[in-house]
Amino acid sequence: MEDSARPLTKKEIRRARERVILEAAEKVFAEAGFGGATMQLIADMAGLPKASLHYYFPTKEALYRRVVQRIFDIWLEAAGSFDEADGPAEGIGAYIDAKMEISRRHRDGSKVWAAEVMHRAPVIQDYLETTLAEWTEGRMSVIQRWIDEGKMAPVSPRHLLYMLWATTQHYADFSHQIETLNGGEPLSDAQWDEAKAAVRQIVLRGIGLAP
């Protein structure tokens, strides 16, 4: 079908190559850490010679930075669930579902983010101080409003958010431990549903919304 399709422009070729490299990089950074990852490993996984990586991304750190930004953007999108809701059961419930789904589909990205933060955020500290800080403040006041309106129990909005992040991301970051404790098998669809339901149940009841 080569002739029916318009030949790819240079920009499209570049975009496609970058995607392949980014996906390979995400996996390698997640499994080996920044220091343990080598450009050679990433190149092999992407099926490209090592020098090509340096053509598309000037340095290893620039490549890494793009990988980290990607998962952060995905999480920010999921935050939409929060804003569109007019009550905690709906808003927090949907947020849990969205974040659990991300943990399932983007575990490598989540791990890279976790490692970055554990190492004191050498490349995304500015995001923490600006975008994340603003997002957190906004969501904390939404929760506080729900509390003031008597829609949920008076819990610390800040620590509730930390609990939501910790619990949902645990299923990505510690997926290897979870699989080991599941007899070495990845969670099945049913088990993922079970996990989501359990998290929703405990958290929602924990903030005074008995199911």
Contacting its own copies within 148-207 (CB under 8 A) = 153, 155-156, 158-160, 162-163, 165-167, 169-171, 173-174, 176-178, 180-181, 194-195, 198-199, 201-207
105 touches its own copies (CB under 8 A): no
| Residue 32 CB, nearest approach to DNA (Å) | 10
CA end-to-end distance (rounded Å), the chain: 55
Measure the CA–CA gap between 49 and 12, rounded to whole angstroms.
Answer: 20
In sequence order, the 6+-apart residues with CB closer than 8 A to the CB of 57 are: 18, 21, 63, 66
Is there a contact between 108 and 32 (Cβ–Cβ < 8 Å)?
no
Measure the CA–CA gap between 197 and 201, rounded to whole angstroms.
Answer: 6
Binding-site partner at residue 8 among its own copies, DNA, none, CB < 5 to 8 Å by type: none
Contact residues toward its own copies (CB under 8 A) are 30-37, 111, 114-115, 117-121, 125, 128-129, 132-133, 136, 153, 155-156, 158-160, 162-163, 165-167, 169-171, 173-174, 176-178, 180-181, 194-195, 198-199, 201-208
